Structure 1
Amino acid sequence: MEKLHIGKFAVTWLRGGITQMDGGAMFGVVPKPLWSKKYPHNEKNQIPLRTDPLLIQVEGKNILLEAGIGNDLLTEKQQRNYGVSEESLVEQDLTSLGLTPNDIDIVCMTHVHFDHVLGLSKMQGGTRTSMFPNAEIYISEVEWNEMQNPNIRSRNTYWEENYRPIEKQVKTFKEEITIVEGLKMTHTGGHSNGHSVVTISSEGEHLIHMGDLMPTHAHFSPLWVLAYDDYPMTSIEQKQRFIQPQIEKDAWFTFYHDAVFRAVKFSSDGTIQESIKRE
Structure 2
Amino acid sequence: MNIGRYTIYPIEGGCFSLDGGALYGIIPKPLWEKTSYPDSLNRVQVQLRSLLLVGNGRKILVDTGMGLNWSEKSREIYNYNNTVNPIVESLKAYGFAAEDITDIILTHLHFDHTGGSVVYENGAYRPQFPRAAYYIQKKQFEWAQSPSDKDKGSFIESTFMPLMEANVLSLLDGYTRLDDEVELLIFNGHTKAQQLLRVFDNDTSLFYAGDLFPFAYHFKPPCIIAYDLDPLTTLKEKDDILRQAYKEGWIVFFQHDPKNTAVTIAKNEKGFTAKDIIPIG
Q: Residue 183 of structure 2 aligns to which amino acid in structure 1? A: K
Distance 2:274 2:150 in 1: 35
**Counterpart secondary structure, 1:51:** strand
Who is 2:276 aligned against?
Answer: 274
Alignment partners' CA distance in 2, 1:32 and 1:277: 30
State the shift of 1:83 in Å: 1.5
Alignment counterpart, residue 79 of structure 1, candidates 75, 82, 85: 75
What RMSD in Å do the two structures reach over aligned CA positions? Answer: 1.8
Aligned-pair identity in percent equals 25
* 1:240 alignment partner, SS class: helix
Whether 1:46 aligns to 2:81 is no
AA aligned to 1:81 is: I
- Once the two structures are overlaid, the 10-residue window that deviates more, 220-229 or 113-122, is 220-229
TM-fit CA distance, 1:277: 6.6
Match of 1:122, SS state, is strand
Give the counterpart letter for 1:52 in structure 2: R
Contact kept, 8 Å, 1:174 with 1:187, in 2: the verdict is no
Question: Which aligned pairs between 1:233-272 and structure 2 lie closer than 5 A?
Answer: 233-269=232-268, 270-272=272-274
Aligned to 2:142: 145
Do the aligned residues in 1 keep the contact of 2:9 with 2:280 (CA within 8 Å)? no
Q: Which runs of 4+ in 1 moved over 4 A?
A: none
* Code of the aligned partner of 2:172: F
| Structure 1 runs not aligned, ≥5 long | none
Counterpart contact for 2:220–2:273, Cα < 8 Å: no
| Distance (Å, rounded) in 1 between the aligned partners of 2:235 and 2:121 | 41
- What secondary structure sits across from 1:53 in the alignment? strand
Match of 2:73, as an amino acid?
K
* Length-normalised TM-score, structure 1: 0.92
- How many residue pairs align between the two structures? 275
What amino acid is aligned across from residue 12 of structure 1 in structure 2?
Y
Per-residue CA deviation, residues 92-134 of structure 1 (Å, 9 max, x unaligned), is 2222323211211111111110111100001112321100122
Contact 2:135/2:171 (CA < 8 Å) preserved in 1?
Answer: yes
Query: What TM-score comes out, normalization by structure 2 length?
Result: 0.92
State how far apart, in whole Å, the 2-side matches of 1:239 and 1:272 are: 14
Aligned counterparts, 1:19-38, within 5 A? 19-38=16-35
Deviation at 1:278, TM superposition (A): 9.2
> C-alpha separation between the residues in 1 aligned to 2:221 and 2:214?
12
2-structure distance, mates of 1:19, 1:30: 21
Counterpart of 1:103 in structure 2 is 100
Aligned to 1:212, what secondary structure does the other structure show? coil
Q: Distance in 2 between matches of 1:236 and 1:205?
A: 26
Give, in whole Å, the separation in 2 of the partners of 1:189 and 1:274: 28
2:264 touches 2:278 (CA, 8 Å); kept in 1? no
- 2:110 is matched with 113
Residue 166 (str. 1) matches residue 159 (str. 2): no
- Tell me the distance in 2 between the aligned counterparts of 1:248 and 1:136: 34
Equivalents in 1 of 2:185, 2:62: separation in Å? 14
